[in-house]
Amino acid sequence: MTLLTIFLMAVITFSTRYLFIHPRLPVRLGAKMAKLLSFSAPAVLTAIWVPIIFVQKGQLNLALNNPYLIAATFAILAAAKSKSVYLTMIVGLISFVISRYMLTL
Amino acid sequence: MAMTKQQARWAMAKKGFLDMLPLNLAVLPWGILCGSLAIQRDFSVLEALLMPLIVFAGSAQLVAIELIANNASLATILFTTFIISSRHFLYGLALRDKLKLLPTNWRYGLGFLLTDELFALSGHSKAFVGQLRLVYALIAGGSFYLFWLLWNVTGVIAGSYLPDLTHLGLDFAIAVTFIALVIPTIINLPILVTVIVAGVLSVLFKLMAFELDLVAAALVAMYCGYLTDRLQQKNRSKSDNIMPVLPEKP
């Protein structure tokens, strides 16, 4: 039974990914739709990372001593300045570890 | 010195691997959690491995494991999987005009590999165009698949011996990776508006425990970005009409 469930889940995850790249699907994207979709990457990716920073265990955390918020701030500055993924990650992770350590002292 | 075709392909493969590597590492805690949770919830090893092998979707895997363990109905499990996966429709739509042109095998392959992470690396205006960019996408997406599998297998083997790594603050790793990918793309006001609206709404919807939180926040944010762009263009054409054309300086 679990095997069948897993198989059907795979059908769903693949279909949602594949449906709109199927050439015979009668969908034509106009210029306006293409413009709208050009904002999809910043929109979806932001909707993934921002809740990690501000919502912990279902609770809103806007405190200035939230280590996620402190480290995210440093990471955003590093990303804006350097545009380097690796440097941003290093800055973000180091400031996260340090602020977590300092705040639990 | 010009590169040979072979060298160019190798260089793109390497770039694809290195660009995806941070994301491959960032999902380690989730991969291990998926694998070990499946074992702790009495999945057989085969079932636990089929999850990353064919379902290949972190959040859907996690939620489904709990639902299956709690004897939820098949309809509930599949519907929840569908809701969680619905954001992929956006990725397919956004990349439709490029991917629909590909040969069948490439289309199925890259379609299968089209995760949040591969989509995050597909922002280039010419992504998936030409053989070299396909090599890039295949190596980026393929390496993510293999790493996801590796972390899941690690979780299956470690079972309950490892602590839940996601509660150790390791979820920050995925946040910082997406920060690194999104922030440099904010090159104009419409994108800035998109990011701010997506950030505020995603937090609000998450707190409301709204199931379509991610997709709804993203859709509204995209529309706000689109409207900002239209408004800017209107203003620009207006000021073009009012401003007299200055004679060029000699």
Mean pLDDT of B37-47: 92
Interface test with A, best of B97, B104, B172 (most A CBs within 10 A): B172
Residue A104 has pLDDT above 60, yes or no: yes
For A44, the domain range is 2-103
Q: What is the pLDDT at residue A41?
A: 95
Binary contact (B222, A45; C-beta < 8 A)? no
Under the banding of pLDDT at 50, 70 and 90, the label for residue B55 is very high
Q: What is the pLDDT at residue A3?
A: 94
B55 to chain A, any CB pair closer than 8 A? The answer is yes
Q: What is the pLDDT at residue B242?
A: 63
Q: What is the pLDDT at residue B250?
A: 52
A30 to chain B, any CB pair closer than 8 A? The answer is no
Nearest residue of chain A to residue B177 (CA atoms): A89
Residue A40 backbone dihedrals phi, psi, to 5 degrees: -70, -40
Burial label, B248 (beta-carbon count in 10 A; 0-12, 13-18, 19+) = exposed
A105 to chain B, any CB pair closer than 8 A? The answer is no
Chain B 6-25, residues with CB within 8 Å of chain A CB atoms = 19, 22
Tell me how long chain A is.
Answer: 105
In this structure, how many other beta carbons lie within 10 angstroms of the beta carbon of residue A97? 14
Task: Give the separation between CA B11 and CA B128, rounded to whole angstroms.
Answer: 16
Binary contact (A44, B218; C-beta < 8 A)? yes
Chain A: closest CA distance from residue B249 (Å)? 36
In which residue are the tokens 């072979």 written? B6
pLDDT (tens digit per residue) in B69-90: 999 999 999 999 999 999 999 9
ipTM above 0.90, yes or no: yes
Mean pLDDT of B108-130: 92
Give per-residue burial for A2-16: e unless 16+ CB within 10 Å, then b: beebbeebbebbbbb
Task: Give the separation between CA A42 and CA B103, rounded to whole angstroms.
Answer: 28
**Angstrom distances, CA of residue A65 to CA of A88, B91, B189:** 21, 35, 30
Return the percentage of chain A with pLDDT > 70, whole number: 99
> Which of these, B67, B61, B55, lies nearest to A7 by C-alpha position?
B55
